[in-house]
Amino acid sequence: MITTRAVCLWVGLLCLAAGLASADDTTQTPQIRDYLALRQTLKPVPFTPEVAQAAQSSWRGRTFEIVGRIIGRTNACVATRNKPLTFMLHVPGVSEMLLVDTTKDDPAIAVDQVVHVLALFPEAASPVEHFQLKALVLESDLPSDQHTYQQAMAEARITAPASVSAADVGAVATSHDLNRKPELPSAPATGAAASSPAPPAPPRPGTEMPRELASNVPDQKIATWKSWVAGINPRLSDAELEIIVRSVLYYSAYFGLDHRLSFAMIKCESGFNPRCVSHAGAMGLTQLMPGTAKAVGCGDPWDLEKNIRGGLKYLSDQLRAFSGRSNYEQCALGLAAYNAGPNAVKRAGGVPNIPETVRHVKKVTDLFYQLWKSGMP
């Protein structure tokens, strides 16, 4: 919930004209003077959390002033109108990353830079919604009294729900600390080593419940997730639903993932179709490529439980590679690495400008946030 104090803070912090106009012009760089002049001409709308929550149809054709931190960018050498450079902004109090296109590179467009941006949201709808950059300045180049990002971050944390007070407000990321040992669901003693949780594969996927998955999970929680998965793929049998749900819950805990992120990832990867095969050859529920399946020890990608175990292990590995970042960045970059490969993320210095990957990251993070916000257990 955003308080009245938060709204006042956002509006006050984003009204830069008065402070900048009163500054001695000789202390301003040409870029700052151009930014201020364009701001006065365009009269942009401050991009507050309230604006972010409004329907995107209300954004169309409007210019916004956005204060945020760059969490990724494409590695375009020469940006053009047909192939723009795209960078991603994290805005305090806003759950979704914002995608901004520009036809000209700038040294300021670098990961971890805090920037003030003037950007137009296009009139026409498109599959991937990007803002169009009009002007940009580094916050560090502005007078110190205009350094608003950290204040907005602090306010966002104050107004965040208690259950996510340790993370950026609305940050679409894992709710568990990925650097600590996860707490496993309680399960009957089986004699199996905790470091090797994978039981023998059932004769056919969905026909036998592995012992390790018969953990002490409340029946209502199982039933709620079975109903959700069945709503996505009604062709699944009850036995398949049982194994899918229990596998996701068990291995999410085992690998230190929020199970809602796991469910969101699988939904966006395969629509819970166990026999899904992509044009590139990715297989099953978590869309494991043959090489990835081998690397994570998944001997049979068509086995429901083994596919989920392998996919969640790989997702956990990608997220851990970005430990030390904010939850939001860790989630976005980890999902991008899962979809496009860790080398693609490394080359791009962030989420690569691959339309499929950009859409995938947005879809998964949006769904994860929806599941969290709706109170899914």
Active site residues: 269
Q: How far is CA 2 from CA 52, 64, 156, 190, 328, in A?
A: 12, 20, 8, 48, 19
The residues that bridge with 72 in the sheet, in sequence order, are: 88
- The rounded Cα 117 to chain-centroid distance in angstroms is 21
Residues constituting the chain: 377
Q: Alpha-carbon Rg of the chain, whole angstroms?
A: 23
Alpha helices in the chain (DSSP H): 4-14, 17-22, 30-42, 49-53, 149-159, 219-232, 238-254, 259-270, 290-295, 304-320, 327-340, 342-348, 355-373
The pair of structure tokens assigned to 17 is: 């004209």
List the one residue out of 7, 14, 92, 89 whose CA is nearest residue 50: 7
Residues 6+ apart with CB under 8 A from 279: none
Residues 6+ apart with CB under 8 A from 243: 205, 206, 209, 210, 213, 304, 305
Q: What's the rounded Cα separation, in Å, for the pair 69 and 114?
A: 4
Q: What's the rounded Cα separation, in Å, for the pair 221 and 56?
A: 34
Contact indicator for 327, 173 with CB cutoff of 8 Å: yes
DSSP per-residue letters across 131-160: EEEEEEEEGGGS-GGG--HHHHHHHHHHHS
Q: What's the rounded Cα separation, in Å, for the pair 33 and 206?
A: 65
Per-position b or e across 293-314, b if 16+ CB within 10 A of its CB: beebebeebebbbbbbbbbbbb
